[in-house]
Structure 1
Amino acid sequence: MYKILIVEDEIEIATTLKSHIERYGYECHIVEEFEKVLDVFQEIEPHLVILDINLPAFDGYYWSRKIRQVSTCPIMILSARMSEIDQVYGIENGADDFIIKPFLLDVVLAKINGQIRRIYGEYAKEPESRILRKGNTALNLDMVRLSTMEKEEMLTVKELRLCHMLFENFPHVVTRQQLLSSIWDEEGFVEENTLTVNIKRLREKLKSIHSSLEVKTIRGIGYQLMEESK
């Protein structure tokens, strides 16, 4: 069953959405503590998020950016103000679609169905083409997870890009410059220590899931993903 997370501080709107969406086979969760949106997201692990802009503490754009650091799941912005500038700002902060208040429930449902089909269903790529396997380890690009038969770990967006590149080049060496250019080129100058920190985190996650893979440092060149020798 696909899970929908609703982040809306007007309880009547949130409960109305939940009631209508659940009638069509979805599992819905409503955020109640608006300082802990990311915590709830990581606990529920939804397939799609409906996210209001005007929220207590931090606005929806802030939480959209936070969610994008750990997931690629669809985010639908909910707002009474959706000018061209608002929509551009929403897209720049990670949104995939928009729901303009006041809205028709059937239009919301159609938008949800469309996003689910695009990402997970009939319009999505073949599942296996979005899962890379090396040794006993699978990298799921859609679910942003690294897993073995024993355990799994959620990745941040940067860890996902880094892991993806190492998997695609396995077992060849990838230079530090290649990793920096392909993963962080949109941010301009980035300290090389940032790459070192993310490699360390990736190694910890591989160890945590009992992966047969290891990331080796090739001094003066870069990194190499290999299977551990027994």
Structure 2
Amino acid sequence: MYRILIVEDERSITHTLKKRLEKYGYECHTIEDFKRVLDVFQETEPHLVIMDINLPYFDGYYWSRKIRQISTCPIMILSARMSELDQVYGIENGADDFITKPFVMDVVLAKINGQIRRTYGEYAKNTERRIVQLGNTTLNLDTVRLSTPKQEEVLTVKELQLCTMFFEDFPNVVTRQRLLSVIWDEEGFVEENTLTVNIKRLRKKLENVQSSLELKTIRGIGYQLTVKDE
């Protein structure tokens, strides 16, 4: 299920978007504290962001720049002001598309579906597609999917980064320190529990696709991706 983060301070608009998008199978997250937009983005790891411009504390351009520093997920600007200059400024600050208020919900859905298809789905770049396979399991770095002949799962940004490291280092042990330093390469301190939670989610997705791979904990060191014994 694809996740969408709605960054909008008008509750009626937030409610309308959330209700309609959830009806069409999207998982939606909203902002309660507009000082924590980037924190919520990192916590929820959405596949797409709907970003209003006029927000409390900092505007949507500011948060788009912040998100663009750590993610390439699509950002759709939502605003009543959408002149050519506004659109140029939006693109320069990381926007991928624009929704003008008042909006038609069917148009919003079409734009979102298009961004999802182009970024993760059947319209994603297929030239020199980066695909890695181990056992019965395929990791597609372009469509952000973990799959087997039986099932597939869409990965979050952090899950993709973790999975890529494990596939590339197979069958070696990857230390916790290396995972933390490479994946969370930022100035702030990151609790190791954050890594543990993401490892747990990745294990669950390997289980969901009935993968022949197993992510083992090497006590005191880190983790090792192995192929299960038949």
The TM-score normalised by the length of structure 2 is 0.61
The Cα offsets for residues 7-40 of structure 1, whole Å up to 9 and x where unpaired, read as: 0000000010000111111111111110000000
The answer on whether the counterparts of 1:69 and 1:157 sit within 8 Å (CA) in structure 2 is no
Which residue of 2 is the match for residue 31 of structure 1? 31
Alignment of 1:1-20 (within 5 A): 1-20=1-20
Contact 1:69–1:156, Cα closer than 8 Å, also in 2: no
Q: 1:37 to 1:75 in 2, by over 3 A?
A: same
Query: What is the alpha-carbon distance in structure 2 between the residues aligned to residue 127 and residue 157 of structure 1?
Result: 29
Q: Which whole-Å CA distance do the structure 2 matches of 1:33 and 1:128 have between them?
A: 42
- Match of 1:52? 52
Output aligned runs, 1:79-158, within 5 Å: 79-126=79-126, 129-130=129-130, 140=141, 143=157, 145-147=161-163, 148=166, 155=183
In structure 2, C-alpha distance between the alignment counterparts of 1:128 and 1:211, rounded to whole Å: 28
Equivalents in 2 of 1:10, 1:50: separation in Å? 13
Query: Residues 56, 91 of structure 1: CA spacing in aligned structure 2 closer, same or farther, 3 A cutoff?
Result: same
Match of 1:224 in 2: none
Q: Which residue of structure 2 aligns with residue 187 of structure 1?
A: none
Question: Cα distance 1:157–1:15, how it changes in 2: closer, same or farther (>3 A)?
Answer: farther
Tell me the residue number matched to 2:62. 62
Structure 2 residue ranges without an equivalent (≥5) = 134-138, 145-156, 168-173, 187-220, 226-230
| Alignment check: 8 A CA contact 1:34 1:56 kept | yes
Q: What is the total number of aligned residue pairs between the two structures?
A: 160
Measure, in 2, the Cα distance between the counterparts of 1:123 and 1:156. 30
Deviations 1:160-216 (A, max 9, x none): xxxxxxxxxxxxxxxxxxxxxxxxxxxxxxxxxxxxxxxxxxxxxxxx97589xxxx
Q: 1:127 to 1:11 in 2, by over 3 A?
A: farther
Partner SS, residue 103 of structure 2:
coil
50-59 vs 123-132, greater mean Cα deviation:
123-132
Q: Deviations over 1:91-122 (max 9, x none)?
A: 00000000000000111000000000000001
Cα pair distance change 1:83/1:129, threshold 3 Å: same
Letter in 2 for 1:44: T
Residues 139 and 145, structure 1, Cα contact 8 Å, conserved in 2: no
Which consecutive segments of 4 or more residues in structure 1 shift more than 4 A? 138-142, 149-158, 208-212
Amino acid at match of 1:113: N
The verdict on how the C-alpha distance between 1:87 and 1:211 changes in structure 2, with shifts beyond 3 A counting, is farther
Shift of the 127–49 alpha-carbon distance from structure 1 to 2, 3 Å rule, reads farther
Q: What letter matches 2:60 in structure 1?
A: G
Q: Taking every aligned residue pair, what percent have the same amino acid on both sides?
A: 67
Do the aligned residues in 2 keep the contact of 1:139 with 1:146 (CA within 8 Å)? no
Q: 1:209 to 1:74 in 2, by over 3 A?
A: farther
Q: Structure 1 residues 105 and 45 mapped into 2: Cα distance closer, same or farther (>3 Å)?
A: same
Task: Tell me if structure 2 keeps the 8 A contact 1:6–1:14.
Answer: yes
